[in-house]
Chain A
Amino acid sequence: MPRFLSLLLAVLVFISSADAQEKYTISGIIKDARTGEFFQGASLTIAGKANIGVISNEYGFYSLLLPKGNYTFKVSYVGYSEAIQAISLDSNITFNWELVDKNQLEEVIISSKRKDDNLRKPVMGTEILNMNEIAKIPVIFGEKDIIKTLQLLPGIKSNGEGGNGFSVRGGATDQNLILLDEAPVYNASHLLGFFSTFNSDAIKDATIIKGNSPAQYGGRLSSVLDVKMKEGNNKGYNVTGGLGLISSRLSIEGPVQKDKSSFLISGRRTYADVFLKASPKFSDSKLFFYDLNAKANYRINDKNKIYFSGYFGRDVLGLGNTFNTNWGNSTGTLRWNSIWNSRLFSNTSVIYSNYDYNITIKDNETNFNINSNIKDWNLKQDFSYYANPKHSIRFGFNAIHHTITPTRFSGTISNFNSKKGRKGLETAVYISDNYKASDKLSIDYGLRFSAYTILGGDTYNIYNNGVKTGTIVLADGETGKTYYNAEPRITTNYLINDVSSLKAGYSRNTQNLHLMSNSTGGNPTDQWLGNSYNTKPEIADQVSLGYSRNFSNNNYEFNTEVYYKDMQNQIDYKDGADIQTVTDIEGELLYGKGRAYGWELLLKKKTGRLTGWVGYTLSKTERKINGINNNDWYNARQDRIHDLSFVGIYEFTKHWILSATFIYQTGNAVTFPTGKFNLNGVTVYQYASRNANRLPAYHRLDFGATYEKKKPGRLFQSSWNFGLYNVYGRENAYTITFRDNPDDPTKTEALQTSLFRWVPGITYNFKF
């Protein structure tokens, strides 16, 4: 570690002493004039110097070192009017920018931060969504939803109706790092995947990075979904809310002390069970979820600010006293932002995260409980150092203590309760440099060095091809094996001309926690496992190549990327694995490798009355695991060859905005029988290759409409949102099962189950 730090210091000194001209720093915060919310990704540029600029960080902070002189600075952020200020830079100055909401101009905007940002930044496979964009896109039940919107982008695939989570570039559901204010969210879905855990009223923006993540992120193979909650208005009070068919929301935000501290509390609850209870048949059933987001911040002084944010959400499902289940996440983040000097910004976070599920089954005289949980304590230290206009450095460390309790049984009929929680320590140090090598070439390169240590308190079995060959007892306080990984990352961007650029990247990601699921769609009862003596860190190496071209004055944006991803130490259950009751689940696991490759195309129209995008992905993802499919390559369940999405938003009149989405996807890879036989009087099916069949293609058209009559000068504003899901009533296959023909036992038949045809949605939104 000391060697790493001294190396780091040497690099910093070298970079910052590149030349000796007299230079000063301009730094500060970029925020919303009305609410005081700061902006991530706002850009500061200089008139007449196209290639010098800086992007604000997650806390709205920017810093730029420039030669002494007079400059005209411009600051812009999506949906806000550009701010322009002439400043004479003859000393280090702090300048905070407040931008005015453009919404008063009644414009609909779907765009990147800067009109040609896509060309200039050395980032790949990255999309930032803000809530204004998401609000107009139709989704099921009229509930706007980040994850549902992300799934309309190339390379990001829904696991299907009723599925749990999403897949990025051929990765599995658990290979996405989902962060809510830096806290990992282990199950981001409610109600079996129909809703995400992100209440859009409490969310500021969300960034998805498809594998080429900067060095400060780590721990998952496929993607990072970084969701930021709003800070809360520090200038005045606001109430926003919505009433929908299936759920309602309410948020309150405002200052505690004006300009100094603010809070936000936001809640959401579904009430599907209210309708259920109306029918006497289901009068004793429970079926709902709720979310509670809370956030507060306090500005100690100009240089120091602390934040607290918390999330608590739970799904409850019950049928009388017989059967009850609930699951949910809770997270808490305490952060301290500190501006050490005009070029060095620090953020320190202490994060708590918990996911658990409980199932209770009660009978006339017995009860039975199944539960599992994963709990983290997490310390993060991150520095941004704005060395000079050519180099921005990020470095820091991260340590997470995991406690993972596997599925356990308890209750009156069980004496089997000997499974203990397993503990692990995940640590990482990282450094990266965003280097503007020339007017045309910029490079973001970095290294993350990560480690996972097995901590004591349990007994670990060692297996060789499923046969137990040894045992390691680790007492409390002892440490077991440590896995080390070096993860280099590099992304380069070459600006070919004013309208096009070429990008290339390589990154290695590792993953120390693994979600074990034996169902094709995922259940809340799927369990997490840490590394052990058998299960090694998963490793993914991804290379990608991209090209961006903007047309007609940046109104149209075209991005395309190809990628190839190689995955090591992939895990699956062996055939016939018993995952719920077995004493040691590790005896049921098999290990192998994976590969995924694809081509993604995205064409966006960003301005005008009609905006939207068309996205297309051609891809393949496969696994090869010894002991499955005769040790041959097979399609991963999330493999889909074609994936097409179309999103259109049309400003019909001043008050009406119409929208439509259309998706077409190859059906999921599934295993259908090829033959059959009879065993003891029952038909049994014969299978050949795993996942060699396909569900029928999935396609669907959704409509949405928003009516909003702005009342100038009035405090109370409201809007109506109408939606129709699956407009032409396509019966998309949810499952296909096989059975004996009920009328003719000498025949067998395939039975397709579909979930939804037309689902309407109405939501009334208000704010004051």
Chain B
Amino acid sequence: MRLPIYIIVLSLLFISCEKVIDLNLGTNNPTLVIEGNITNQPGPYFVKLTKTVSFAEASVYPVVNNATVIITDNAGQKDTLAYTANGIYKTNALQGISGRTYSLTVIAEGKTYNAKSTIPQNVVLDSLKYNPIQFAGTIIHTVIPIFVDPIVTGNSYHFVIKINNVLDKTYLVDNDNVTNGQVYVRPLFSNDIEIKPGDNVQVEMRCIDANSYTYYYTLSQAQTDGPGGGTTPTNPPNGISGGALGLFSAYTTQTKSIIIP
């Protein structure tokens, strides 16, 4: 979570121009994508199985509807998910509990994929604070999630924001490497949707495990563009054995909203 300072500087200094170009990126290797979420809130929880498509194709993803999807936890619960529709599989009775580790097994098209994730202890989101920042003659309207990071190290957070009910696509993740045990004070900077007075900003705070943090942090690195083009992008490490893309993430969740004055 850092200011895209170089882009700001460059745009201050020089006239840059943007245009949409045609690139021949070839065809991809269609790969299974697992989107699995378990939270500390009452179920059911969902696992979605799709496949990647080539960059040039329409963003319509083939679904995988004949897979076996099983979630177990380290307390002996086991749930074989039922297929619903659109590639989505649903848990039956499983309940997510903080501190437990959940294991996902997907058997699809003759291959087996495994992933694990732990629901961390919940950190209470106290409130949201409006935080205007004077910046180059304008005001950037930001929101700070107020909470106290626990004394133990190793907490990671993922903030999912919606502005007037529209999902912001910025990856906002942070951990307590630098600010362990303190009141959180860093504003959430969006580089997708500009926040304006009167907007309803909804912040969902998720306490995530280290694997999910690395996944989203890698995606966030690819979103910021330094001189020459930011970090070399890559498929983020996701801890899924068998070579599937996507993420199986267990987390706690809380949501609060604020109206920008």
Interface residues in chain A, defined as those with a beta carbon under 8 Å from any beta carbon in chain B: 159-160, 162-164, 191-193, 272, 276, 279-285, 287, 317, 319-320, 322-323, 325, 361, 363-366, 409, 413-416, 518-523, 575-576, 578, 580-583, 637, 668, 670-688, 690-691, 693, 696, 731, 734-738, 740, 745-757
Q: CB within 8 A of B13: which of A287, A323, A682? A: A287
Give complex CA distance A681, B13 in Å.
Answer: 35
Residue of A nearest to B137 (CB): A281
Are A755 and B16 in contact (CB-based, < 8 A)? yes
Are B246 and A162 in contact (CB-based, < 8 A)? no
Residues of B within 8 A of A576 (CB): 214-215, 217-218, 221, 234, 236-237
Residue of A nearest to B168 (CB): A682
Q: With A670-B229, A675-B29, A675-B30 given, is the CB distance from A580 to B2 under 8 Å?
A: yes
Give complex CA distance A753, B175 in Å.
Answer: 32
Are B227 and A163 in contact (CB-based, < 8 A)? yes
- List B residues 14-59 near A (Cβ within 8 Å): 14-23, 25-31, 33, 35, 37, 50-55, 58-59
Q: CB within 8 A of A678: which of B12, B50, B136, B247? A: B50
Closest 5 CB pairs of A and B: A521-B228, A675-B28, A281-B137, A576-B218, A521-B227
Are B234 and A686 in contact (CB-based, < 8 A)? no
Residue of A nearest to B60 (CB): A746
Are A747 and B21 in contact (CB-based, < 8 A)? no
Q: CB within 8 A of B19: which of A287, A366, A731? A: A731
Interface residues on B, range: 35 or more
Residue of A nearest to B56 (CB): A748
Residues of A within 8 A of B214 (CB): 576, 578
Is B185 interfacial (CB-CB < 8 Å)? yes
In the assembled complex, the CB of A545 is this many whole angstroms from the nearest CB of chain B, namely 33
Name the residue among A276, A523, A745, A755 with the largest chain B CB count within 10 angstroms: A755
In the assembled complex, the CB of B43 is this many whole angstroms from the nearest CB of chain A, namely 17
Are B231 and A520 in contact (CB-based, < 8 A)? yes
Q: With A581-B175, A675-B54 given, is the CB distance from A755 to B236 under 8 Å?
A: no
In the assembled complex, the CB of B13 is this many whole angstroms from the nearest CB of chain A, namely 6
Are A162 and B228 in contact (CB-based, < 8 A)? yes
Are A671 and B136 in contact (CB-based, < 8 A)? no
Residues of B within 8 A of A737 (CB): 225
Residues of A within 8 A of B219 (CB): 684
Could you show 19 A-B contacts with beta carbons less than 8 Å apart?
A160-B227, A162-B10, A319-B8, A325-B5, A366-B185, A414-B178, A415-B182, A519-B230, A521-B228, A522-B228, A575-B235, A575-B237, A582-B177, A675-B53, A675-B55, A676-B55, A677-B52, A690-B232, A740-B59
Are A675 and B59 in contact (CB-based, < 8 A)? no
Give complex CA distance A668, B228 in Å.
Answer: 9
Interface residues in chain B, defined as those with a beta carbon under 8 Å from any beta carbon in chain A: 2-3, 5-6, 8-10, 12-23, 25-31, 33, 35, 37, 50-55, 58-61, 131, 133-138, 160, 167, 169, 175, 177-183, 185, 187, 214-215, 217-219, 221-222, 225-237, 245-247
Residue of A nearest to B225 (CB): A735
Give complex CA distance A163, B230 in Å.
Answer: 11
Q: With A576-B215, A746-B59 given, is the CB distance from A414 to B179 under 8 Å?
A: yes
Residues of B within 8 A of A280 (CB): 137
In the assembled complex, the CB of A439 is this many whole angstroms from the nearest CB of chain B, namely 50
Residues of A within 8 A of B131 (CB): 363-364
Q: With A323-B3, A581-B175 given, is the CB distance from A751 to B20 under 8 Å?
A: yes
Are B137 and A283 in contact (CB-based, < 8 A)? yes
Residue of A nearest to B214 (CB): A576
Residues of A within 8 A of B187 (CB): 363
Give complex CA distance A409, B186 in Å.
Answer: 14
Are B33 and A679 in contact (CB-based, < 8 A)? yes
Residues of A within 8 A of B30 (CB): 675
Residues of B within 8 A of A668 (CB): 228
Known: A521-B228, A523-B227. 12 other contacts (CB 8 A): A164-B228, A192-B10, A280-B137, A287-B12, A319-B135, A413-B182, A415-B182, A519-B229, A678-B61, A736-B21, A748-B55, A756-B14
Are A687 and B228 in contact (CB-based, < 8 A)? no
Residues of A within 8 A of B8 (CB): 319
Are A522 and B232 in contact (CB-based, < 8 A)? no
Name the residue among B55, B227, B234, B237 with the largest chain A CB count within 10 angstroms: B227
Are B16 and A753 in contact (CB-based, < 8 A)? yes
Residue of A nearest to B249 (CB): A680
Residues of B within 8 A of A322 (CB): 133-135
Are B245 and A686 in contact (CB-based, < 8 A)? yes
Q: With A674-B54, A747-B59 given, is the CB distance from A519 to B22 under 8 Å?
A: no
Q: With A688-B28, A691-B232 given, is the CB distance from A578 to B23 under 8 Å?
A: no
In the assembled complex, the CB of B55 is this many whole angstroms from the nearest CB of chain A, namely 5
Q: With A673-B55, A678-B61 given, is the CB distance from A192 to B227 under 8 Å?
A: yes
Q: With A319-B136, A675-B55, A681-B167 given, is the CB distance from A749 to B20 under 8 Å?
A: yes
Are B229 and A521 in contact (CB-based, < 8 A)? yes
Are B17 and A518 in contact (CB-based, < 8 A)? no
Q: With A159-B228, A192-B9, A520-B226 given, is the CB distance from A746 to B61 under 8 Å?
A: no
Q: CB within 8 A of B55: which of A163, A578, A738? A: A738
Q: CB within 8 A of A677: which of B33, B215, B234? A: B33
Are B18 and A674 in contact (CB-based, < 8 A)? no
Are A735 and B185 in contact (CB-based, < 8 A)? no
Residues of A within 8 A of B181 (CB): 415
In the assembled complex, the CB of A414 is this many whole angstroms from the nearest CB of chain B, namely 5
Residues of B within 8 A of A677 (CB): 31, 33, 50-53, 61, 245-246
Q: With A320-B135, A637-B232 given, is the CB distance from A755 to B61 under 8 Å?
A: no
Residue of B nearest to A668 (CB): B228
Residues of A within 8 A of B61 (CB): 677-678
Residues of B within 8 A of A679 (CB): 33, 35, 246-247
Q: With A672-B23, A749-B20 given, is the CB distance from A519 to B231 under 8 Å?
A: yes
Q: With A688-B29, A690-B232, A757-B17 given, is the CB distance from A276 to B247 under 8 Å?
A: no
Give complex CA distance A736, B185 in Å.
Answer: 33
Q: With A323-B3, A523-B6 given, is the CB distance from A674 to B27 under 8 Å?
A: yes
Give complex CA distance A734, B15 in Å.
Answer: 12
Are B230 and A735 in contact (CB-based, < 8 A)? yes
Are B180 and A415 in contact (CB-based, < 8 A)? yes
Give complex CA distance A704, B18 in Å.
Answer: 28
Give complex CA distance A320, B135 in Å.
Answer: 7
Give complex CA distance A753, B55 in Å.
Answer: 19
Q: With A162-B10, A519-B226 given, is the CB distance from A747 to B58 under 8 Å?
A: yes
Give complex CA distance A749, B20 in Å.
Answer: 7
Residues of B within 8 A of A580 (CB): 2
Are B9 and A687 in contact (CB-based, < 8 A)? no
Give complex CA distance A756, B61 in Å.
Answer: 39
Are B177 and A682 in contact (CB-based, < 8 A)? no
